[in-house]
Amino acid sequence: MRHEETIFSGFGGQGALFAGQLLAYSGMAEDLHVTWIPSYGPEMRGGTANCTVIVSEMEIGAPIIRHPTAAVVLNLPSMEKYEPLVKPGGVLVVNTSLVDIESERDDIRVIALPASDIAEELGNARMANVVALGALIEATGLVDFETVEQQLEEHLSERQREWLKPNKKALHEGAARAKSE
């Protein structure tokens, strides 16, 4: 049964909220039950931003996540805060471009990838969120890649349309890196 409770977290401007939205939209497109709750400080860009996303085949009783089954951490403060909270057997996706410590947990699957560097190689470091999302989707199998690609097409703003193809590439590059972990 598909059920994933995920936290996406990073600095404001890294796209943690957008990656969470893409997962939530993808879940809805596959007729799953979904919650998405953003949280960010008053400073937004540069401050901490995170969101919780629950995607499930079952009805969702409460949208609050205390111990996620998965976490995507895009910066060091997020790693320090959320790595200890991931449930045993869960998945932790770490952006090693900005996180210089390793998880010492052996009861979770850790996917360590230089998401910001990969995104930079693809043309824009701001796609690190999509690289990390690709790794998460590959690790969990929660939704289909085609669904996420469709949601990118539907929810990328008009002024960001030029980044559609590179974002799809970023999604697949993150997945490829997760396969090799």
In the chain, the number of structural domains is: 1
Residue 58 sits at φ, ψ, to 5 deg, of -95, 160
Which position has the higher pLDDT, 74 or 181?
A: 74
| Residue position matching structure tokens 């850790």 | 110
Q: Mean pLDDT: which of 44-53, 78-87, 150-159 is highest?
A: 78-87
Mean pLDDT of 166-171: 96
pLDDT confidence bin for 44, thresholds 50/70/90: low
**Average pLDDT, rounded, for the chain:** 94
Determine the structural domain holding residue 166 and report its residue range. 3-180
Q: Is 56 helix (H, G, I), strand (E, B) or coil?
A: strand
Q: Read off the pTM.
A: 0.94
**CATH number where 124 lies:** 3.40.920.10
CA 93 vs CA 33, 51, 59, 147, 162: distances in Å: 23, 15, 26, 20, 27
